[in-house]
Amino acid sequence: MLKNKFYAKFLIMIGAALILSACANTGDEAMDSAPAPEVSAPPQRQAPTVERVTIDPLSQEALDMVMGGMEGSLVYFAFDRYDVDSSARGVLQAQANWMKTNNVNVIIEGHCDERGTREYNIALGDRRANAVKNYLVAMGVAASRVRTVSYGKERPVNMSDHDKNRRGYTRVN
Amino acid sequence: MKLIKILLLSIIGIMSANLSAHAVIEIDITRGNVQPLPIAIMNLAGSADEITSSGSVMDIGAQISRVITADLERSGLFSAIDPRAFINSANATAAPQFANWRAVGAQALVTGTAVLEEDGRVRVEFRLWDVLGTTQMTGLRYFTAPRNWRRIAHLISDAIYKRLTGEDGYFDTRIVYISESGPYLERIKRLAIMDQDGFNHKFLTDGSYMILNPRFSPTSQEITYLSFYNDTPRVYLFNIDTGKSEMLGEFDGMTFAPRFSPDGKKVIMSKAERGNSDIFVMELATRRIEQLTNHSAIDTSPSFSPFGRYVAFNSDRGGTQQLYVMDSNGENVNRISFGNGRYATPVWSPRGDLIAFTKQTGGKFYIGVMRPDGSGERILTESYFEEGPTWSPNGRVLMYYRKYPYDNRGGGGETQLWSIDLTGYNERQVITPLDGSDPAWSPLMD
């Protein structure tokens, strides 16, 4: 079908050329009577739907972006430790600033790696969650906006890197 | 209790009064590596024509004998002689021809019968014979609903074990544990219960919320555990017969690591508030709570001594996780673990003479025991990861769980239940339908 159309156009164009050349010989008169070459109209362009991409400023995604990356809601701890180290302090400072301008409540999850006993890790995860909470509160976040929960070693996110499991996760509530 | 109702069990008593005061054969289980006692276990004789709701009494008798055989062999203290080697199938009601049993190497012999009673119950009798001494050592008769034959088998195993070792058995018991399934990112952890030999398995929760660290009441059909119901980790009490559960107390902070007192009237547990875990004890009748430790360190995994006078627990107050013992009012705290590494999950033996624990050192995990004063530490087993020992009610066997490392293809990480004899021998996997962790042994049922 397309091919036929193409040939049809091609033949018309050749025909038109022949007529034109004939006209050249016979004068302007013939030009007016020559059939207008068929020109297919350009396809009508469909205007795409454009929506502005936004992040809900009160969402987990927004908190993730707080540090300019995807890990704005995560801090990490050393083995069997629960102190907030310098890299965690940067993240938590940004979290605190974000919380001060965005009216959200959060739950701090405390997690441990799997190289420990279950009950002790429940307690250690609670320590870590509270260390994060205390830091946020010290940075000016109201304590009533921050809940804590410990999952101990029960929610690992990485099978090979134990460091990635010893974490505090700030979850928008 | 439902089990009792269906059991309708009555022990008529020892049928033979002329027991010799000095048994010729006995197993000394205080020594290290015990040579298993050769025992012949005949099929309990029954008629193929007496049909019950659970098959003929002939089938029931044969199945009971198989369960007894499995129980005794699993203990590591007995080796059952292959029935194909038996020379004669003795008349179960008459005295055996001992020469024929000596000839196949048996030192002990079990015979018996299964009979259908007019009221629909099954009457099961067994006799334990000393082959060398040519005497009957014990004999008992039980009545039960036919479908309850498995418990009769375990009761007979316990009676044989007790007669030959001098100690209570642990076969008529159950295990409550955490059934695990799913990949590590979506691991489901739910409560399950089974007989100690893995039969009569039942899930007690549906897995929609996580449950950890279940423990049996020593006196009732109740379990206490940590539940993450509503994303709020708290200690619960669960009634096995009714299936009802209730949160133990209303606390602002998390409660966890529960365990019953020996009289079943209290639950001791950790309570965490503002990042600090201390040990509390709750009286179940009044829900009155008493704080036992008050220290900025983590205090958890409390376990009462058998008479409730002392509490062993886990604390990092000395810098790392170690074991401590205190009076049950919280006074006189003493550290008892001083070896290399971290110590955790102390559990007092029902006999009172030992505390089992988990040890972590050099990238491995170990299950061991020590005396309550910390002396005599003995490691029983080691692996990449294992923890959480629980004692058989007679204090002879420990069960715990093991977790395997993840492999580099996205697999691995399985959890399994294992058991080992206190001597450090006879380590065996306890088979569960799915993965398993956190086993807790019931007391002997009654």
For testing the chain B interface, which of A119, A121, A147 should be mutated: the one with the most B CBs within 10 Å?
A119
Look-up: residue for tokens 């009577």?
A: A33
Amino acid identity for residue B149 in this structure: W
Burial of A43 (0-12, 13-18, 19+ CB in 10 A): exposed
Position A133 in a domain: yes
Position A55 in a domain: no
**Domain co-membership, A64 together with A46:** no
Contact A154 B210 (CB under 8 A): yes
Chain A residue nearest residue B316, CA to CA: A120
**Domain co-membership, A34 together with A119:** no
Look at chain A and report how many structural domains it folds into.
2
Position A9 in a domain: yes
Region of residue B409 (left: phi > 0; alpha: psi -120 to 50; beta: else) = alpha
**Domain co-membership, A140 together with A69:** yes
pLDDT by residue (tens digit) across A110-169?
Answer: 999 999 999 999 999 999 999 999 999 999 999 999 999 999 999 999 998 999 999 999
Look-up: residue for tokens 């050192």?
A: B361
Position A128 in a domain: yes
Distance CA A149, CA A110 (A): 6
Residue A68 C-alpha, separation from nearest chain B C-alpha, in angstroms: 26
Q: Out of B184, B256, B410, whose CB is closest to A122?
A: B256
User: Would you say residue A19 has pLDDT above 50?
Assistant: no
Chain B residue nearest residue A146, CA to CA: B274
pLDDT by residue (tens digit) across B341-356?
Answer: 999 999 999 999 999 9
Distance CA B247, CA B257 (A): 14
User: Domain containing A143: what range?
Assistant: 60-172
Q: What confidence score (pLDDT) does residue B30 get?
A: 56
Q: Between residues B417 and B6, which one has the greater pLDDT?
A: B417
pLDDT by residue (tens digit) across B227-286?
Answer: 999 999 999 999 999 999 999 988 889 999 999 999 999 999 999 999 999 999 999 999
pLDDT over 70 percentage in chain B: 91
Sign of the CA dihedral running B56, B59, B62, B64:
negative
Domain boundaries, chain B: 2-165, 174-441
Q: CATH number of the domain at B2-165, please?
A: 3.40.50.10070
User: Would you say residue B4 has pLDDT above 50?
Assistant: no
**Domain co-membership, A64 together with A138:** yes
Fold (topology level) of B174-441: Neuraminidase (2.120.10)
pLDDT by residue (tens digit) across B165-213?
Answer: 999 999 999 999 999 999 999 999 999 999 999 999 999 999 999 999 9
**Domain co-membership, A28 together with A76:** no
**Domain co-membership, A103 together with A129:** yes
pLDDT by residue (tens digit) across B306-364?
Answer: 999 999 999 999 999 999 999 999 999 999 999 899 999 999 999 999 999 999 999 99
Give one DSSP letter per residue of chain A, joined into a string: -HHHHHHHHHHHHHHHHHHHHHHHHH-THHHHHSPPPP-PPPPPPPPPP-------TTSHHHHHGGGTSS-TTEEE--TT-----HHHHHHHHHHHHHHHHS---EEEEEE--SSS-HHHHHHHHHHHHHHHHHHHHHTT--GGGEEEEEEETS--S-SS-GGGTSEEEEEE-
pLDDT range class, residue B411, cuts 50, 70, 90: confident
Q: Domain holding A142: CATH number?
A: 3.30.1330.60
pLDDT by residue (tens digit) across B116-165?
Answer: 999 999 999 999 999 999 999 999 999 999 999 999 999 999 999 999 99
For testing the chain B interface, which of A118, A128, A149, A157 should be mutated: the one with the most B CBs within 10 Å?
A118
**Domain co-membership, A84 together with A158:** yes
**Domain co-membership, A24 together with A109:** no
Q: What confidence score (pLDDT) does residue A51 get?
A: 78
CB-based contact, A80 to chain B, within 8 Å:
yes
| Among candidate residues A27, A50, A73, the one where a domain is terminated | A50
Task: With beta carbons under 8 A apart, name residues in chain A contacting B272.
Answer: 122-123, 126, 150
pLDDT, averaged across chain A: 82
**Domain co-membership, A152 together with A128:** yes
Task: With beta carbons under 8 A apart, name residues in chain B contacting A152.
Answer: 212
CB-based contact, A120 to chain B, within 8 Å:
yes
Chain B residue nearest residue A122, CA to CA: B256
**Domain co-membership, A109 together with A35:** no
pLDDT range class, residue A21, cuts 50, 70, 90: very low
Beta strands A106-111; A146-152: pairing state: parallel
User: Would you say residue B3 has pLDDT above 90?
Assistant: no
pLDDT by residue (tens digit) across B36-79?
Answer: 999 999 999 999 999 999 999 999 999 999 999 999 999 999 99
Q: Out of A115, A120, A148, whose CB is closest to B321?
A: A120
**Domain co-membership, A6 together with A70:** no
